[in-house]
Amino acid sequence: MNTVKLYLRSMQMLMKSQLQYPVSFLMQTLAQLVMEGGEFMAVLLIVDRFDHLNQWTPGNLYFFFGMMSVTFYLTEIFGRGITGNFPSLVRTGQLDTLLLRPRGIVTQVLCSAVDPRRVACVAVGVAALILGSRQSAVQWTTGKALAMAEAILFGVLLILGLFLIEAIFCIHSVKSIELVNAITYGGRSACQYPVDIFPRPLRLLFTIAAPFALTLHVPSAYILGKPLYGWPAWTAFVSPAAGGVLFLMLYLLFARAMRYYRSTGS
């Protein structure tokens, strides 16, 4: 519990420091809005030209887009330490200071950064979700709300887990590996769309290796009333846990990798 308190306290302090430069903050937030707005515009334009994507109506597509951007950018806001800062911590040797303190490394790294600018992206995602659920005429029930909350929660863990892969590479090779972006940012780009539109290899990749489909798409499809792969409804409550499992596995691997950490010095 103490850890949670520590994290919340750090977030509070970091937010305060970020807001010290309001104009700069506003500009950057606006830039984020342009970025995510551009991504969403692409979906709107696609719908304008193609009407639908296999079984998915425009409203469904907005919903999938919204689920991904809310989840991904919530992770970027609250997990900035892992999604953005870790490579520089290793390169500059700042990670050494964290080793001296009586708390876990992942906790401390998470406490080291926050990125409130991404709130603009989350806002675009929320707008897409509202638009999507309206146009798809979703009948909200407690079950569906629960499925959505669960999907977002485990989705955040999944994305954190995927970024831990980069952190692990970083510990071994110091330099951050652009390659890992394929799975994190590539996963985001691909899984803005329901996974069943992709050819088999990509589908398998995003269902098993980086289980965006299990974590986000199965519950989303359940909420939209069009079960993915024709799976029964209860799977929407079980399959998101895949995100948690992946995070746990990578967390353990990360802890192992830390044993081989060698400071870059200076």
Partner 1 sequence: MMKAYLSAFRMRWKMELQYRGAVVGGFVCQVFFGLILVSLYRALYAGKPQSLPIESVTTYVWLQQAFFRMILSSDPDLANRIRTGDIAYDLCRPLQLYGYYYARILAQKLLGSLLRAAPMLVFAACLPRGWGLVLPASLPALAVALLGLVLGLLCVCTLENITVGITMRTLDPRGVQAMLNLLMTTLSGNILPLTLFPDSWQKAITLLPYAQLLDAPIRLYSGQYALAQAPRALLVQAVWTVILLGLGLLLWQKNQKRLIVQGG
Minimum distance from residue 4 beta carbon to partner 1 (Å): 31
Cβ-contact 220, 195 below 8 angstroms: no
Minimum distance from residue 43 beta carbon to partner 1 (Å): 9
CA 99, 101, 103: angle at the middle one, nearest 5? 95
Give 194's contacts (C-beta < 8 A, 6+ positions apart): 53, 56, 60, 61, 64, 217, 220, 221, 228
Handedness of CA 76, 80, 82, 85 (dihedral sign): positive
Minimum distance from residue 237 beta carbon to partner 1 (Å): 28
CB closer to partner 1 out of 53 and 110:
53
Distance CA 184, CA 95 (A): 23
CB closer to partner 1 out of 105 and 221:
221
CB closer to partner 1 out of 55 and 141:
55
CB closer to partner 1 out of 186 and 227:
186
Distance CA 106, CA 81 (A): 9
Distance CA 43, CA 28 (A): 23
Minimum distance from residue 185 beta carbon to partner 1 (Å): 8
CB closer to partner 1 out of 58 and 105:
58
Minimum distance from residue 150 beta carbon to partner 1 (Å): 26
Question: Kind and range of the H or E element at 226?
Answer: none
Minimum distance from residue 111 beta carbon to partner 1 (Å): 23
CB closer to partner 1 out of 181 and 264:
181
Minimum distance from residue 23 beta carbon to partner 1 (Å): 8
> Pseudo-torsion of CA 178, 241, 7, 185, nearest 10°?
20
**How far is residue 160 from each of residues 30, 34, 97, measured CA to CA in Å?**
25, 24, 22
CB closer to partner 1 out of 48 and 100:
48
Give 226's contacts (C-beta < 8 A, 6+ positions apart): 55, 56, 60
| Contacting positions for partner 1 (CB under 8 A) | 24, 27-28, 30-31, 34-35, 38-39, 41-42, 45-46, 48-54, 175, 177-179, 181-182, 186, 189-190, 193, 197-199, 202
